[in-house]
Amino acid sequence: MARKGISILKGIEAKEVIDLLNRAYADEWLAYYQYFIEAKVVKGIMKDGVVAELNQHAADELRHATMVAERIMQLGGEPLLHPKDWFKYANCAYEAPENPDVLKVLEQAIKGEQCAIDVYSKLAEITKDKDIVTYDIASRILADEVEHEEDLQALYEDIEEFIDQFKLKDA
């Protein structure tokens, strides 16, 4: 634990930050798995492009989990050790891709990104001017989550447009 690193906290307790980070850590692991499994089961039009995007997002979520875990340890905490705790502490829900249709999978993924945007916006707000390191991490992850939502929404809209054009040709 970095004693000097903890001493830079202003008006916020390390335990409070650790608790918030562990909740985000749980979210990242669930998001990683959701993207991982969605990429395996997704079916439908433009599947290959969607799989590539989902795999990239899975890698990003794993990177986020690493960043968050490292900050938890810097603050003298311990990241959640048991996967069962991810469900208990997560801010965002895990939705199994029981309907593997490409549009349904993208809807679930977009919903997950929107939740992550809320989580990291709040974390940045809470730590601003109080914990510059956590604030910086939350801001960087937030930027990724916003980009993820944009990417997924663009894919969703492209697929919808393609389907609409195909329906017009058949009419």
* pTM of the predicted structure, to 2 decimals: 0.93
25, 72 contact by CB (below 8 A): yes
Is the pLDDT assigned to residue 24 strictly greater than 70? yes
> Under CATH, what is the fold of the domain 11-170?
Ferritin (1.20.1260)
What's the pLDDT tens digit per position in 32-72? 999 999 999 999 999 999 999 999 999 999 999 999 999 99
3-class state of residue 19 by DSSP: helix
Closest CA to 57 of 164, 147, 169: 147
Is the pLDDT assigned to residue 74 strictly greater than 90? yes
Q: Taking residues 78-101, what's their average pLDDT?
A: 96
Closest CA to 44 of 97, 106, 100: 100
Q: Which token pair is 42?
A: 């997704």
Is the pLDDT assigned to residue 136 strictly greater than 80? yes
Is the pLDDT assigned to residue 146 strictly greater than 90? yes
What's the pLDDT tens digit per position in 95-116? 999 999 999 999 999 999 999 9
Is the pLDDT assigned to residue 161 strictly greater than 60? yes
